[in-house]
Chains A and B, each alone.
Chain A
Amino acid sequence: MKLFPKSISMRKRESLWGYLFISPWIIGFLLFTIGPMIASLVFSFADYDIISPPTNFGLSNYIKLFTNDPDFWHSLGITATYALLAIPLNLVFGFALAYLLNQKVPGLAFWRTIFYIPSVLAGVAVAILWGLIFNPKYGILNWFLGLFGIHGPGWLSSPDWAVPALILMSLWSVGGGMIIYLAGLQSIPTTFYEAAQLDGANSWQQFFRITIPLMSPVILYNLIIGIIGTFQYFTEVYVLTSGLTGGPGGPAKSTLFYNVYLYSNAFRYMNMGYASALAWVLFVIVLLLTLLVFRSSAAWVYYEGELQNK
């Protein structure tokens, strides 16, 4: 059976087939992504409690957010602190692991698998697991510190240690970045290193003059993914802090990440309009940071194609 009449040219028919094949995704994207995004943009300018229709359209949500909501700034500060510490740590650890696993060591496939597996585990399961690891009395972390005579803190129940604990936990998923770094490292032609060795370059010089520049596009990719990921941080902190006195974001609001605050507004305080405004501000923040990183990439990312064109 012919779906398209023969009067249509072959090229157009192929295009139509193409659109037909991707139509499930396009329909899904329009209905379940673009549609809700537009709706949330509209709601962000209104008072909306989910149950009743939106009312009082205007800028009041955005005005309150920037001028009269300490929790907005508090949650943004916690998220930014987490991002500033967790992203560089993950970039460095991921790169270091990939570099080590790119060497000729026995059982390489085994080690690669071991380091990659944690990154494919679901967030809730990981959170529960780390809840046990962080247990001050019975957790393996404080047991390990105890071997060196260090009395470990109450990681999640202490307002001072909760965020550092979550930063430490973020290293659990370093395998995701590691596998991308590894692919990048393996794509660097060995001829570069051979030529450098002939020129008398030592290991450090090879690393900083060849490896880092050629890996910079991969670092850029992991940096952007890291920024987006940390500003969307929610599942683990929600699971780990829900049972504490003070609820999600506790103890004493020390883990009130931006998305935890957004979620509370949407589904606990029934301020869907305000939560939508929070979501759009987050979108703009992540967009600006991404653009900033892209803009800066001209100064530190090496693109082979660009060099060839010069």
Chain B
Amino acid sequence: MQRKRISTVLAVLMAISMVITACTPKPVVTEPVKITIFVGFGAGSDPDSQEALNTIAGEFNASHTDLQVEFMYSTWEEHTTKFSTLLAGDLVPDLAFPIGIQGIAEFYDEWIDVSPYILRDSYDTTDFYGPSLQLLNFNEKTIGLPLGVYPSVTFFNEDLFDAASVAYPPQQYGDSSWTLQKMVEIGQQLTLDENGNNAASSSFDPTKIAQWGWGGWCGPFRTVPGKFGGNPLGMSSDFKVAEMDSGGYLEGMQFLYDSIFNWHIRPSSIDEGSTFTGMDFTFESGKVAMFECFSWASYAFPNFTTGGNWNVASVPAGPYGDVVSPVNADTFAIPAHSTHPDQAWEVAKWMMEPDMQNRLCSIFGCIPSRKSLAGGWIDSMAAEYPNVDFQVFIDSIDYMDASPNNESWVPAYSKVWDATENAMSRILSGESSDVRQVMTDLQTEVQGYLDEYWAAHP
């Protein structure tokens, strides 16, 4: 009996103590918000970049108590599958970074407009290159701020020019003599067969080409029509009517065909698959005198050097005087279903600070999009390649295809993209010599995609 009474008292005391404990105010301990950053829409997924980004994450986490960041990596090949699976599984990352215009276009409806944040914080954008800001405006929606840009320039092999006694292409913009026509002309002088005859000579043998004058444009076909006065997107401004069987699309494709099969200055895709095997760019071989490419080709600069002394020149003007330097860009984007958009914006701002921008661009290979950082970028590149005029890259930014960009959104984005690339493949491989028919087929195919899209999105 006595024992039972003691037990009862103990039980009551324990209950009271538990109630008191539960009601006592506790010191507020707020967990830091974790911002997950998806890497895979562009650069940043290779092992070296991952290591560098993880170091940056460590520094951020050590200096912040309220926010923590974690990078989530995907290869470029898997980025669409992985990112869409995350969205479908409600495991939405808070940031996509770095991401290019193509990545934004692929998931166009999934990003928020950051312009309210820019306005709220009176974010100073005056230091950014003007056109680079336009890159990220889509139908009155601003997706991000430009971290870095990748303008295109003409790369040329000085040794091959010297051997043929041909003057180098101009390195300053504004030289009206530097046109695609001129490029073809000197390209023929620099294209040699196995007997040393150039492509302008009557004894030239096009079946035994040993050196090409031009390696083509390294980008997708959408980088081409703008040079011929066309719209890179190949459709009307309301995106309802395809315009690919005429204008810049037709002329651009005809130029590609002629460069291979009539002027013989450019290797076909079959030549590329044989003579230049194992190379990302034909220019690495030392058997190609010129080619136009984005500055992200910088990862291959050591291979360019193996091919000979090289330098860069401005982009030639098209037949209607259009000087277009196709550009790619790196930015950030905040997914619409992120649970921490405000904090994601704060992390993005931190990454856009000049020092961090410099550091991140050195990882991804981009040119920082702040004008004030241009000098530092040129110095760092020139330290490695003292003979190359890196100012040309900076000058090219003024000629970028900012709006619309060659990667800008169109309806049925990937289908239209693949159809266009397939049309170019038919020409580059020689599968068809009827350029007009190829473009008519493309027009029909793309119009079908547009009709289908608008039927589903009235």
A residues bordering B, Cβ < 8 Å?
Answer: 47, 49-51, 68, 135-138, 154, 156-160, 242, 244-247, 249-254, 264, 267-270
Contacts and interface: CB of A to CB of B under 8 A. Distances in A.
A270 B415 CA distance: 10
14 contacts: A50-B88, A68-B448, A135-B277, A136-B270, A136-B274, A154-B271, A245-B424, A250-B425, A252-B425, A252-B429, A252-B431, A267-B81, A269-B415, A270-B414
A251 B274 contact: no
A186 B110 CA distance: 62
Nearest to A245: B425
A123 to B, nearest CB: 16
Contacts of A68: 448
B60 to A, nearest CB: 29
A78 to B, nearest CB: 14
Nearest to B417: A247
Contacts of A270: 80, 84, 414
B6 to A, nearest CB: 41
A97 B48 CA distance: 48
A244 B81 CA distance: 20
A137 B425 contact: no
Given A136-B270, A159-B431, A50 B415 contact: no
B87 to A, nearest CB: 5
Interface in B267-281: 269-275, 277
B426 A157 contact: no
B277 A51 contact: no
Interface string B81-95: 100110110000000
Interface string B153-170: 000000000000000000
B379 interface: no
B425 A154 contact: no
Given A51-B88, A137-B275, A252-B431, A246 B421 contact: yes
A269 B421 CA distance: 15
A259 B157 CA distance: 43
A246 B269 CA distance: 11
A247 B429 contact: no
A73 to B, nearest CB: 14
A268 B80 contact: yes
Contacts of A253: 422
B456 interface: yes
Contacts of B421: 245-247, 250
Contact of A138 (B87, B277, B415, B424): B277
Interface in B439-458: 448, 456
Contacts of A264: 418
Interface of B: 77, 80-81, 84-85, 87-88, 110, 269-275, 277, 412, 414-415, 418, 421-422, 424-426, 428-429, 431-432, 448, 456
Given A136-B274, A157-B273, A253-B422, 19 more contacts: A49-B84, A50-B85, A68-B448, A136-B273, A154-B270, A157-B274, A158-B429, A159-B429, A159-B431, A242-B77, A245-B421, A246-B422, A251-B429, A252-B422, A252-B431, A268-B418, A269-B415, A270-B84, A270-B414
B122 to A, nearest CB: 34
A242 B78 CA distance: 13
Chain B binding surface, main DSSP class: helix
A154 B431 CA distance: 12
B274 A247 contact: no
B425 A244 contact: yes
A170 B60 CA distance: 52
Contacts of A245: 269, 421, 424-425, 428-429
Contacts, number: 89
Contacts of B431: 159-160, 251-252, 254
Nearest 9 CB-CB pairings of A with B:
A246-B425, A157-B273, A136-B274, A154-B270, A137-B274, A159-B431, A246-B422, A252-B426, A252-B431
Contacts of B414: 268-270
B269 A244 contact: yes
Given A47-B456, A136-B274, A244-B269, A251 B425 contact: yes
A159 B426 CA distance: 8
A249 B412 CA distance: 19
Given A135-B277, A157-B269, A264-B418, A51 B456 contact: no
Contacts of B275: 137
Contacts of A138: 274, 277
A156 B85 CA distance: 32
A156 B426 CA distance: 13
Nearest to A266: B81
A158 B432 CA distance: 11
Contacts of A268: 80, 414, 418
A245 B270 CA distance: 11
Contacts of B422: 246-247, 249-250, 252-253
Contacts of A249: 422
Contacts of A246: 418, 421-422, 424-426
Nearest to A55: B456
Contacts of B456: 47
Nearest to B109: A51
Nearest to A162: B429
A278 to B, nearest CB: 15
Nearest to A134: B273
B260 to A, nearest CB: 13
A244 B277 CA distance: 12
A51 B90 CA distance: 9
Contact of A137 (B269, B277, B412): B277
A247 B88 contact: no
Contacts of B424: 245-246
Nearest to B425: A246
A252 to B, nearest CB: 4
A255 to B, nearest CB: 11
B419 to A, nearest CB: 9
Contact of A157 (B77, B85, B429): B429
A154 B418 contact: no
A146 to B, nearest CB: 13
B78 to A, nearest CB: 9
Most buried by A among B271, B418, B429, B456: B429
Nearest to B429: A251
A25 B275 CA distance: 51
Contacts of A269: 412, 414-415
A47, A244, A247, A252: most-surrounded residue (chain B CB, <10 A) = A252
A154 B271 CA distance: 8
A246 B87 CA distance: 28
Contact of B270 (A47, A51, A158, A254): A158
B4 to A, nearest CB: 38
Contact of B87 (A51, A158, A159): A51
